[in-house]
Amino acid sequence: MLNIVVLVSGGGTNLQALIDAERRGEIPGGRLSCVISSRADAYALTRAEQAGIAGEVLRRGDFENQPAYDHALLVLLERYEADLVVLAGFMTIIGDEVIGRYRNRIMNIHPSLIPSFCGEGYFGQRVHRAALERGVRVTGATVHFVNEVCDGGPIILQQAVEIQDDDTPETLQKRVMEQAEWNILPRAVAMFCDGRLSVVGNRVMQINKEQREDAE
């Protein structure tokens, strides 16, 4: 059973999707062991408490520099024996030391089909506003491993969502969450915990049951 630590900054809708998936038995190889928030007032902490999951607050502003913050984050991840770290709407920069320590063990959910509308400055409704302004007909969400390049890590899963003529950034954000994010994030976590993901270069390969048994 792998320990999953979820990093959040806001309402925690993707956290709730993980909690619900775990309750339904859809993540049999893992357990949500801790939620770490960058804000003390994040509703995600309430969701964690209601689900009986430990909650911690780690504010970037409490540390004088990035290395000090990264060290404190590593201490928490080690305390909860994190096997997988999930960034679910986490709005704080994670330094190279943390990424290196948890190489291919940190997942992020991004509200577009990477490589479109991603990278620095693309987060929240900014992503959906950019998609509407560009006039694309299809958007979606991506789960990827985190590396040193913003939104540049190996892609695990993607799901497309059609854009409607009367969409606003708000309506599009809601539909992308409901139709894509809340679906593919729990699936990606379950695949990782079941040992069904292998990273080769910048590609993620899905391993089936027979391949896992042969490897063992």
Within 10 angstroms of residue 181's Cβ, the number of other Cβ atoms is 25
For residue 211 the two structure tokens come to: 């391949």
Tell me which amino acid residue 78 is.
Answer: E
> Out of 71, 110, 128, 144, which one is annotated catalytic?
110
* Helix residue ranges, H only, 103-208: 125-134, 169-176, 182-193
Name residues whose C-beta falls within 8 Å of residue 22's C-beta, 6 or more positions apart in sequence.
30, 31, 32
- Residue 128 annotated among the catalytic residues of the structure: no
Integer Cα distance of 76 and 87 in angstroms: 15
Name residues whose C-beta falls within 8 Å of residue 118's C-beta, 6 or more positions apart in sequence.
110, 112, 127, 142, 150, 151
Which of the residues are catalytic? 110
